[in-house]
A and B are shown apart, each in its own frame.
Chain A
Amino acid sequence: MSSETGFDTGKYDRFPTQAPRPEGELEQLQDAWCGPRSPWEWITATNNNIIGVYYVGAAMLFFVLAGVLALLMRTQLALPMTGFLPQETYNQIFTMHGTVMMFLFAVPAVEALGVLLLPQMLGARDLPFPRLGAYAFWAYLVGGLAFFCSLFFGLAPNGGWFMYPPLTSMTYSPGINADFWLLGIGFIEISAIAGAIEIIVGVLKTRAPGMTLDKLPVFAWAMLIFACMIIIAFPSIILATLLLELERALGWPFFDPLKGGDPMLWQHLFWFFGHPEVYIIFLPAAGAMSTIIPAMARTKLVGHSLVVMAMLATGFISFGVWAHHMFTTGMPQISINYFSAASMAVSVPAGVQVFAWIATIAAGKMRFSTPGLFAVGGLIIFVMGGLTGVMVAMVPFDWQAHDSYFIVAHLHYVLIGGMVFPLFAAIYYWLPMSSARPLSERMGKWVFWLMFAGHNIAFLPMHLTGLMGMPRRVYTYLPGRGWDLPNFISTIGAFLFGMAVLLWVIDMIRNFRPFGPRDAGNIHDGPGLEWLPSGSYSVRSIPVVKSLYPLWDQPGLARDVEAGRYFLPGAPTGERQTIVTSPLNAEPQYLLRIPRPSGWHVFGAVFTAGFFLILTIQAYAVAVISGVLAIYCILRWCWFLDRPAKRKTTDIGGGIRVPNSVAGPTSHGWWAMVIVLIVGGMVCLLAGFSYVFLWSRRPDLWQAPPDIGSLAVVLGMLMVAGAGAVAAPRILRRGGARAATGATVLLALAAGAVLAATLVDGQAWWATGLRPDASSQGATVYALWAWGATFAAICGLMGAYVVLRRLFGLIAPERPSTVDLIGLFVAFAAAQGAGIVLLTRLFPGAS
């Protein structure tokens, strides 16, 4: 095999090693990875085995809570003119049901599944940023619970899960209900992005040696594409929530047509996130299906390369169908036609996967135990939802069915068939691996059949109620329209579904009891690395992977891994470590030191959540204090990174030595920073789109930009800043007595130059008399400026941080990661600032 990094892959033949393992090696590994021993350590834990279980548990808690809200709604709608729920309460409940299901259950649940499964599946000891993963979890849990509790105070949002303005503008939603949604969801999406960063770097950089892309498990492929989609799509909702909150709090008219705004901008931004969101939810579930079906059918996945291509294709085209939610908004006809064609085309990659699953079932001997039942049940329901999806992709049909119960039926068939059933299949399939106990087969079959019947009884009649004209989101209806019976049947189905979930909860409680045997093992004869014997350290030794189905095709693998005959069989430095490998061929590159638990990420998450949630009640001083505390906690957490290693290289087995740390583009930190910058760049790009879009609505309201002289000054300062940021790491690497000081000063000056340029630009706009609350131009110009200013402020903070580290002697040529990453950030901030200045000054130009 040709090498990607210069590593001699012939060295893989040294494994499994034959020499006896040294005394005490396993004990040292267990010591390094010992689990929590006190309640506080359970809270500060970072290991994916613990955080993954917490994460899945929290997501399922929100699933149950949102399900209870669904039952309340179905009770209200069971009969016409029922007074079970007041209208306002109903509005809050249906808004919270959709919001919680989409934002607090669906995305976190699949992300949680990734956090729980990926390290074992990839043969890693943990994901590369366990504290970031734990921070994301705690932020999500605290923020999510606080958000949900708004319901008990009558403060829950009530504008639907998509929060369309003008309904959600101050005029029509004057309370703080909408603010809870805007700040809460914006914050929770940041947590999702943190998880996505960890998943991308984890899948690309911490695979077992030899796990080339063709041997990468399909679930890991799905998680990789899922996480990349989050990085591209979620900035859109972050921007949208920021803009609407700015309009509500400060009167910046992004969506107010009287001042040049346009509510359509919200719809574009929301659905640019919202439609990919459906595939973001579906893809990991599809990856789980492509893993579970072959295992349950005891045969390899038919069309493996086609399935991966189909998932990639889904990832790309999902960004080209957002406006099919907007067919009735009066968009140009030709645009509608394009989106209609794309919406039909997206069924092709979904169809490829469905046919691959059917062919795999046909080629093997399917076992219809509970995971198999859920997989096949999900397949049936998803195909039904997909077919109605093709129907609503046709514009004339959509005009008839839009905003009717037909759409409610369609989306529930797609989401429940495409995500909920596969998730239950995954829980039943992988729980023996995670809790070392299987769930009850007998109860599982009851759960499946009640859920399958309940789903179809609840949602099949909704197609008819919709075609008979019943609109969505109504809290009651008049008798005699033919809607009574189908609504009543739907309610019966919903309660059957609820019974299934209740049975499952009982079984889960039984499963996690703290007594009884825990020795399930590989009960499904699964072929993936996750079924290797494992402890809190994941696998005893990290194997060389030679097949897509290693446990089927590499005889004796489990025995040799458990005997420590592969890579990193102990903890040679006494620290938590895993191997970082190259992104394509998974060749060993260096050892990653994994931090031990501490409380800083938990405090950071709580204060971050506090900052956003306290903002909603407009206690600004308290919110700022919480924000400052969050920044302090995060800086403390970062302070202990980029420390010198005790020795330069380590033998990871078979006489192969790798460095204990690296910097630059090979390092996992560099990859994470690049992904963060892509997120920031996407927000900026979409803000630029908003700027051009609003100009195209009312160009007559736009005034001339500041003079060209200030443009030249700002650009000059940004160029200097960028050059300084690029030069600083090079100066540090050159070494010598003054390298550290020189690089630090240069970086601090570069950060200062970005800040100064931003201030000059803001002052120039202010001097023209343009105000942010005056027109759409003012709103978008100052929004773009504020985005750049946020980056400039972070640059300032980073500049101070690097100076502080220099004063403590923590900047040195042999550990340049801090300077590398801050240099990268400052250079990006300068480039982004230049882009913003050029757009706002030169487009549309003087008028």
Chain B
Amino acid sequence: MRWVTMTGGLLIWALHFIGLYGIASAEDVWGAPDAWSWRLAGVVFSLLCLAATVGVGLWLARQRPDPEEPEAWERRVGLTGALVAAVSIVWQTGPLAF
């Protein structure tokens, strides 16, 4: 569980990227170029990932470990990781707008 605490946000970020690539590849095989439904699928998937990352961040923010315990440091790593992941998910969803 403590590994998930530290890497939860980053894991979702990785999942988001693989998912976007999968959706784009599926569009390439089955869909028409620039079909809006595939783009919508990408946006919905990204919003789900963003919500999950924010959820991880909020869950970590509510934890209150003793500042002297290693869990406090692990929480800090996890929180900053979730923040970076959230920003990156938004950034990598950007191409869907073009």
Contacts and interface: CB of A to CB of B under 8 A. Distances in A.
A311 to B, nearest CB: 10
- Looking at chain B's contact residues, is the secondary structure mostly helix, strand, loop, or mixed? helix
Contacts of B42: 334
A341 interface: yes
Nearest to B7: A312
Contact of B2 (A215, A317, A584): A584
Interface string B63-82: 00000011101101100110
Contact of B94 (A1, A341, A349): A341
B70 A342 contact: no
Contacts of A334: 24, 27, 39, 42, 95-96
A337 B7 CA distance: 26
Contact of A305 (B14, B25, B76): B76
A338 interface: yes
A214 B65 CA distance: 14
Contacts of B20: 338
Nearest to B69: A1
Interface string A303-332: 001101100110011011000000000001
A1 B14 contact: no
Interface in A202-247: 212-215
A696 B10 contact: no
Contacts of A332: 24-25, 27-28
B69 A305 contact: no
A348 B88 contact: yes
A794 to B, nearest CB: 30
Nearest to B10: A316
B21 A585 contact: no
A198 to B, nearest CB: 20
A212 B95 contact: no
A316 B70 contact: no
Contact of A340 (B7, B70, B77, B95): B95
B28 A335 contact: yes
B18 A309 contact: no
B28 A305 contact: no
A313 B74 contact: no
Contacts of B85: 313
Contacts of B14: 316-317, 319-320
A309 B77 contact: yes
B10 to A, nearest CB: 5
A806 B77 CA distance: 49
A721 B42 CA distance: 41
Interface in A159-206: none
Contacts of A313: 10, 13, 81, 84-85
B11 A584 contact: no
B73 A213 contact: yes
Given A1-B69, A309-B80, A316 B11 contact: yes
Nearest to B1: A584
Contact of A337 (B18, B28, B98): B98
Interface string A343-384: 011001100000000000000000000000000000000000
A341 B17 CA distance: 10
A1 B70 contact: yes
Given A213-B70, A213-B73, A696-B29, A342 B92 contact: yes
Interface residues of B, number: 37
A312 B70 contact: no
A335 B6 contact: no
- Looking at chain A's contact residues, is the secondary structure mostly helix, strand, loop, or mixed? helix
Contacts of B69: 1-2
A342 B85 CA distance: 11
B24 A335 contact: yes
Interface in A268-322: 305-306, 308-309, 312-313, 316-317, 319-320
Contact of B80 (A2, A212, A306): A306
A802 to B, nearest CB: 33
A342 B28 contact: no
Contacts of A696: 25, 28-29
A344 B7 CA distance: 21
A787 B76 CA distance: 42
Interface residues of A, number: 31
A308 B80 CA distance: 10
Contacts of A212: 70
Given A213-B70, A317-B13, A309 B84 contact: yes
B77 A305 contact: yes
Nearest to A341: B92
B21 A312 contact: no
Interface string B38-60: 01001000000000000000000
A305 B75 CA distance: 10
Nearest to B12: A316
A312 B95 contact: no
A103 to B, nearest CB: 26
A305 B80 contact: yes
Interface centre among A2, A313, A316, A696, by most B CB within 10 Å? Answer: A316
Nearest to B85: A313
A313 B53 CA distance: 14
Nearest to A4: B2
B80 A341 contact: no
A817 B73 CA distance: 35
Contacts of A2: 69, 71
A398 to B, nearest CB: 15
Given A584-B70, A696-B29, A338 B95 contact: yes
Nearest to B98: A337
Contact of B25 (A1, A319, A335, A349): A335
B92 A338 contact: yes
Contacts of B94: 341
A338 B17 contact: yes
A342 B88 CA distance: 8
A308 B84 CA distance: 13
Nearest to A322: B21
Interface in A449-496: none
A353 B91 CA distance: 21
A584 B73 CA distance: 12
Contacts of A337: 95, 98
Contacts of A309: 77, 80-81, 84
A335 B27 CA distance: 10
Contacts of B29: 696
Nearest to A215: B70
A348 B98 CA distance: 23
A305 B91 CA distance: 24
A341 B95 CA distance: 8
B35 to A, nearest CB: 11
A348 B17 contact: no
Nearest to B30: A696
Contacts of A335: 21, 24-25, 28
Nearest to A323: B21
Nearest to B13: A316
B81 A312 contact: yes
Nearest to B89: A345
Given A316-B11, A340-B95, A341-B94, A308 B77 contact: yes
A213 B74 contact: yes
A309 B92 CA distance: 19
Nearest to B20: A338
A642 B11 CA distance: 36
A2 B91 CA distance: 39
10 contacts: A213-B73, A305-B76, A305-B80, A306-B80, A317-B17, A334-B27, A335-B25, A338-B92, A342-B88, A584-B70
Given A335-B28, A584-B2, 16 more contacts: A1-B69, A1-B70, A213-B73, A306-B80, A312-B10, A312-B81, A313-B10, A317-B88, A320-B18, A332-B25, A337-B98, A338-B95, A340-B95, A345-B91, A345-B92, A696-B28
Interface of B: 2, 6-7, 10-11, 13-14, 17-18, 20-21, 24-25, 27-29, 39, 42, 69-71, 73-74, 76-77, 80-81, 84-85, 87-88, 91-92, 94-96, 98
What 8 pairs across the A-B complex have the smallest Cβ distances? A337-B95, A214-B73, A320-B17, A212-B70, A335-B24, A316-B14, A332-B28, A341-B92
